């Protein structure tokens, strides 16, 4: 069941992003994607503690929702879907992963050891685990024993300072199914440039240890072509793309070209309609505004349209505005 061992190289993956990579956006991207340009998608990251909390569960379970339309596209394009979870209690990982394996259709589980948000790190979770390698290894081991699903890890090159080889060495002792490494420390957050030379050190360490473990890089990748180039240059098995989709929603499409006004507005409406159909009034409509700034740019009148879209409160508002804009 470990797809990481058989998937084509270089592996191109969609990064997990909170309030971004939900089933709506994944469905949209899958519909646009060339199967050769996207192999793995990840969910938003979900708290293990939250999933096991009677009241808290209602606030986070939607992050693991996969629509039938997304399931169809995943099968059609042979893309794998991985649930990303986080926390710092090994027993909670066991309970959550057993539920994921028993009642949800995921191909794997990924442990978030990379989110740099200070309040999460202070709790000893996500990037905070870089400072507690013994607990990190205990979590991986517990997760692996919970079900047959492959357990991968996404992390960074250090906490307050770079510690790539020491930290990644600890993780490799636990033998995760795959490792994705973001080329920044926790302290850097999203500042500066991702250091792919540090990511390459992880691949060389893997080779020196003789371990069969895919290593993927992450950070500042803006296209599939760039992802493939970095894999070749730094000796990696794959690359994960995150914020690049905010520059180009067609990033995984086979044809890379400038999109027309009609195409941009058609995708804007498709996104809005799908969001409304899937989430109705259960999610804040304002979440769509970050995408409106992507679609409404690069053409005459875009700034004015964008400003008006930022004031919309419903799908009806958006439909009316697009109709008026012609």
Output the pLDDT for position 270: 98
Answer yes or no: pTM beyond 0.85. Answer: yes
Gap between the Cα atoms of 95 and 64, Å rounded: 15
Output the pLDDT for position 324: 86
Output the pLDDT for position 166: 98
Q: Average pLDDT, whole number, for the chain?
A: 96
Catalytic residues: 115
Neighbouring residues of 59: CB distance < 8 A, sequence distance ≥ 6: 50
Phi, psi of 184 (to 5 degrees): -135, 160
Gap between the Cα atoms of 32 and 169, Å rounded: 38
Residues lower than pLDDT 70 in the chain: 326
pLDDT digits (tens, 9 = 90+) for 54-76: 999 999 999 999 999 999 999 99
Architecture of domain 3-247: Alpha-Beta Barrel (3.20)
Locate the domains of the chain by residue range: 3-247, 261-325
Residue count of the chain = 326
Output the pLDDT for position 326: 66
pLDDT digits (tens, 9 = 90+) for 84-135: 999 999 999 999 999 999 999 999 999 999 999 999 999 999 999 999 999 9
Residue with tokens 């302290």: 187
């Amino acid at each position: 069941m470990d797809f990481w061992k058989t998937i084509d190289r270089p592996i191109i993956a969609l990064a997990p992003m909170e309030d971004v990579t939900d089933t709506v956006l994944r469905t949209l991207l899958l519909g646009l994607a060339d199967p050769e340009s996207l192999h793995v998608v990840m969910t938003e990251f979900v708290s293990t503690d939250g999933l096991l909390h009677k009241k808290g569960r209602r606030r986070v379970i939607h992050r693991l929702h996969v629509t039938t339309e997304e399931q169809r596209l995943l099968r059609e394009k042979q893309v794998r879907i991985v649930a990303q979870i986080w926390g710092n209690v090994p027993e909670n990982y066991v309970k959550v992963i057993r539920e994921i394996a028993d009642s949800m259709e995921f191909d794997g589980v990924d442990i978030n050891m990379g989110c740099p948000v200070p309040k999460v790190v202070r709790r000893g979770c996500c990037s905070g685990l870089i400072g507690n390698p013994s607990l990190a290894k205990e979590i991986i081991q517990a997760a692996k024993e919970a079900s047959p699903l492959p357990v991968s890890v996404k992390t960074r090159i250090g906490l307050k300072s770079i510690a790539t080889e020491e930290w990644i060495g600890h993780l490799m002792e636990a033998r995760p199914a795959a490792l994705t490494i973001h080329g920044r420390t926790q302290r850097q957050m999203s500042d500066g440039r991702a250091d792919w030379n540090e990511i390459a050190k992880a691949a060389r360490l893997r080779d020196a240890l003789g371990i069969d473990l895919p290593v993927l890089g992450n950070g500042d990748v803006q296209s599939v072509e760039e992802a493939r180039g970095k894999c070749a240059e730094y000796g990696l098995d794959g690359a994960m793309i995150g914020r690049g989709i905010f520059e180009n929603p067609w990033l995984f499409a086979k044809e890379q070209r400038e999109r027309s006004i009609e195409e941009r507005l058609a995708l804007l409406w498709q996104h809005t309609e799908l969001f409304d159909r899937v989430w109705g009034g259960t999610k804040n409509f304002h979440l769509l505004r970050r995408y409106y700034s992507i679609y409404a740019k690069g053409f005459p009148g875009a700034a004015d349209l964008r400003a008006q879209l930022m004031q919309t409160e419903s799908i009806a508002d958006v439909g009316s505005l697009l109709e008026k804009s012609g």
